[in-house]
Chain A
Amino acid sequence: MARSMLIISRQAPWSGPAAREALDIALAGGAFELPLGLLFLDDGVFQLAGAQVPAAIEQKDVTANLQALPMFGVEALYACARSLAERGLDPTALSLPVELLGDDELRALINRYDQVITI
C-alpha cells in the first residue's frame, strides 16, 4: 500500500515558484497513483481566485491547470476557511470545488495522512 501524502500549498500563485511546485508534486504523485490530498492555506487560497489573467504577466494558466487535478486522480481538495475569510474570498466563487475546513478539521486532516509537506 502506497503511503498517503498531504500537500499544503500556502503561497500565492505568482509570488514565486512555490505554487507551481506544489501543483507539480500533486500531478506527478497522481500520475504514480499515490493517495494524495491538496490543502490550500494562507496565501495559497489566492490560487483558487477566479478571473485571473496570467497571460498579462506571461505565466501559465494556474486555474486551467488546477482543473486537471481530478483527471490526474487527485480528488481530495481542501481549503482553509479562515484563510479565505481573512482574504475576503467568497467560498462560493472559487475556481475549483474544494472542501472548506476549520482549524480543528485541519488538525484532524493532517493526522489522516502518512506524510505531509508544506510549500
Chain B
Amino acid sequence: MATLHVLSHSPFGDGRFASCLRLLGEGDALLLCGDAVYALQPASTPYASLERLGASTPVYALAEDHAARGGGAPGAGVTLVDYAAFVELCCRYERVNSWL
C-alpha cells in the first residue's frame, strides 16, 4: 500500500515539503531530486524534520543533483541513488506521488 513521494522543489520555497512529510504514511518513502536535495543541508530546519522521520521512512536523494549543488556526504539514514535506482524505486512502490 506504500507510496514513493518525489519532491523536486526547494524545501525553503513554500509548504510543499512540510505537507509532504505530514502525508507520509506507513511504509512510504521520500525521494529528493532537483532543488529538494537542499533539504539535506546539515543544521537546516528541513534536515532536522527529516531526522525526526526515523528509520521506518527511507529517504533517498538523486546523487547527481546532490553533487551538483555541492552536497557532501549525506547524513545518516539518507541513501544516494543514481537514475537506474530511481527507476527501480518507482517500480518497487505501489504508487508514485510527484509533488509538481
Residues of A within 8 A of B (CB): 8, 10, 18, 41-43, 103, 106-108, 110-111, 113-119
Contact = CB atoms under 8 A, between A and B. Distances in A.
Contacts of A41: 19
17 contacts: A8-B97, A10-B19, A18-B100, A41-B19, A42-B16, A42-B19, A43-B15, A103-B22, A110-B3, A110-B95, A110-B97, A111-B1, A116-B3, A118-B97, A118-B99, A118-B100, A119-B100
B95 A116 contact: yes
B25 interface: yes
Contacts of B56: none
Contacts, number: 40
B23 interface: yes
Contacts of B100: 18, 117-119
B54 to A, nearest CB: 16
* Main secondary structure on B side of the interface with A: mixed
A22 to B, nearest CB: 9
A108 B95 CA distance: 14
A119 B8 CA distance: 12
B25 A118 contact: no
B23 A106 contact: yes
A83 to B, nearest CB: 8
A85 to B, nearest CB: 14
Interface in B1-53: 1, 3, 14-16, 19, 22-25
A41 B16 CA distance: 10
Contact of B95 (A106, A113, A119): A113
